[in-house]
């Protein structure tokens, strides 16, 4: 677990949702200046689950805004829906990995196995993935090491950073080869899950977030899921129209942003960096979130779950953790409801 991750409340008081993100957003460090990616717009889609009748609702959106969409497919959920992935590939969508099992393990071996299994799945479809988005935005150094060893180039994990510029995490005193690309970490499905019915208000929150990210000189990268909620495509349509046609942001997918950052921004010398006067500013609380105090009992339960790396999705014979953790995990699966 990233000890710097915290549950935070986002949105105005009458429209608030929760997400676990890094303790501090990248913009909060006040050390970065405006860069080439400060005026780009990108939509990261995490395809967690497959709903046969709902997924097609997204095709018009993907087709219309192809230049700025990256889909991170969860391989396990789409293993029986390969034509869907191939259709997105044919549309020209940037396709990347959202792991095989929808989980980030504490240990290196579990992550390596999970990342490799997804990578092979996509390779069999003729897709070479170089980008990763961590399930639940969870981050730890073992995830980074596994991604490095599987040849990945970038990852986007909001428990590591959000609302900031790309960076390379430090692992045991060295810079990781994986570039972390932070995003605005509030998915619109959260509002629907919380029971908010006014989709115009939800779309307005995103438009305000876009204005705020632009004011702060941040790249505008928002994220959403393909889900069972039929309201989402029209919310996204309204938000993307605002970002690209009203605010005239430049459409780029996540892989484009990786390429822009590594070929231009990261290679600037000191004088070039110092010549930029506009700094990255801290977004207001409605967008960067306010830490939430969790009840002690809840905290203790979460810590215990964290200790045994609790999850139900991995088949027992595919668990790669050590024997003790594996036994505890399998026992907990029987006890915890
Ligand atoms: Zn996910």
Q: Where are the domains of the chain?
A: 5-292, 294-337
Residues near ion ligand 1 (Cβ under 5 Å): 46, 48, 135
Q: How far is the CA of 274 from the centre of ligand 1 (A)?
A: 38
Q: How far is the CA of 103 from the centre of ligand 1 (A)?
A: 8
Q: How far is the CA of 99 from the centre of ligand 1 (A)?
A: 9
Q: How far is the CA of 136 from the centre of ligand 1 (A)?
A: 5
Q: How far is the CA of 140 from the centre of ligand 1 (A)?
A: 16
Q: How far is the CA of 102 from the centre of ligand 1 (A)?
A: 6
> What pLDDT is stored for residue 266 in this prediction?
80
pTM score:
0.95
Q: How far is the CA of 77 from the centre of ligand 1 (A)?
A: 10
Q: Alpha-carbon distance 19 to 7, whole Å?
A: 6
Q: How far is the CA of 271 from the centre of ligand 1 (A)?
A: 40
Q: How far is the CA of 184 from the centre of ligand 1 (A)?
A: 15
Q: How far is the CA of 272 from the centre of ligand 1 (A)?
A: 38
Please, are residues 69 and 240 in contact by the beta-carbon 8 Å criterion?
no
Q: How far is the CA of 285 from the centre of ligand 1 (A)?
A: 25
Please, are residues 125 and 252 in contact by the beta-carbon 8 Å criterion?
no
Q: How far is the CA of 98 from the centre of ligand 1 (A)?
A: 7
Q: Classify domain 5-292 by CATH architecture.
A: Alpha-Beta Barrel (3.20)
Q: What is the CA radius of gyration of the chain?
A: 19
What is the residue-level pLDDT of the chain in tens, covering all 337 positions?
456 799 999 999 899 999 999 999 988 887 788 888 999 999 999 999 999 999 999 999 999 999 999 999 999 999 999 999 999 999 999 999 999 999 999 999 999 999 999 999 999 999 999 999 999 999 999 999 999 999 999 999 999 999 999 999 999 999 999 999 999 999 999 999 999 999 999 999 999 999 999 999 999 999 999 999 999 999 999 999 999 999 999 999 999 999 999 998 788 888 887 788 888 999 999 999 999 998 999 889 888 888 889 999 999 999 999 999 899 999 999 988 7
Backbone φ and ψ for 111, nearest 5 degrees, come out as: -65, -45
Q: How far is the CA of 134 from the centre of ligand 1 (A)?
A: 7
- CB contact burial 4-18 (16+ within 10 A = b; e otherwise): ebbebebbeeebbbe
Q: How far is the CA of 48 from the centre of ligand 1 (A)?
A: 5
> What pLDDT is stored for residue 1 in this prediction?
45
Q: How far is the CA of 74 from the centre of ligand 1 (A)?
A: 7
Kind plus residue range of the DSSP H or E element containing 5: strand 5-10
DSSP string, 86-139: HHHHHHT-EEEE--SSS---SSHHHHHHHHHHHHHHHHHTT----EEE-GGG--
- C-alpha distances (whole Å) from 40 to each of 92, 122, 137, 244, 254 are 19, 27, 22, 9, 10
> What pLDDT is stored for residue 2 in this prediction?
54
> What pLDDT is stored for residue 272 in this prediction?
81
Kind plus residue range of the DSSP H or E element containing 222: strand 220-225
> What pLDDT is stored for residue 3 in this prediction?
67
- C-alpha distances (whole Å) from 245 to each of 7, 41, 70, 149, 265 are 34, 11, 19, 40, 26
């Amino acid at each position: 677990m990233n000890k710097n991750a915290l549950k935070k409340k986002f949105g105005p008081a009458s429209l608030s949702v929760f997400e676990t993100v890094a303790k501090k957003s990248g913009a909060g460090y006040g050390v970065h200046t405006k860069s080439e990616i400060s005026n780009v717009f990108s939509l990261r889609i995490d395809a967690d689950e497959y709903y046969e009748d709902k997924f097609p609702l997204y095709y018009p959106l993907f087709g219309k805004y192809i230049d700025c969409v990256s889909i991170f497919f969860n391989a396990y959920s789409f293993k029986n829906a390969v034509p869907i992935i191939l259709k997105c590939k044919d549309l020209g969508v940037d396709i990347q990995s959202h792991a095989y099992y929808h989980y980030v393990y504490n240990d290196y071996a579990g992550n390596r196995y999970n990342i490799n299994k997804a990578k092979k799945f996509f390779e069999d479809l003729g897709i070479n993935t170089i980008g990763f988005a961590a399930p639940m935005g969870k981050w730890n150094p073992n995830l980074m090491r596994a991604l490095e060893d599987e040849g990945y180039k970038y990852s986007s994990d909001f428990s590591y950073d959000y609302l900031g510029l790309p960076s390379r995490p430090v692992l045991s005193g060295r810079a990781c080869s994986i570039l972390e690309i932070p995003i605005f970490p509030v998915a619109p499905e959260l509002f629907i899950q919380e029971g908010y019915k006014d989709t115009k208000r939800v779309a307005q929150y995103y438009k305000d977030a876009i204005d705020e990210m632009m004011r702060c000189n941040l790249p505008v990268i928002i994220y959403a899921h393909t889900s069972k909620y039929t309201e989402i495509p029209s919310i996204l349509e309204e938000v993307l129209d605002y970002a690209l046609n009203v605010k005239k942001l430049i459409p780029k997918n996540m892989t484009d942003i990786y390429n822009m950052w590594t070929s231009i921004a990261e290679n600037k010398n000191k004088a070039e960096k110092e010549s930029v006067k506009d700094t990255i500013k801290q977004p207001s609380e409605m967008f960067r979130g306010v830490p939430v105090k969790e009840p002690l009992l809840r905290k203790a339960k979460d810590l215990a779950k964290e200790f045994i790396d609790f999850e139900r999705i991995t088949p027992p014979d595919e668990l790669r953790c050590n024997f003790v953790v594996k036994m505890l995990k399998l026992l907990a699966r029987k006890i915890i409801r």
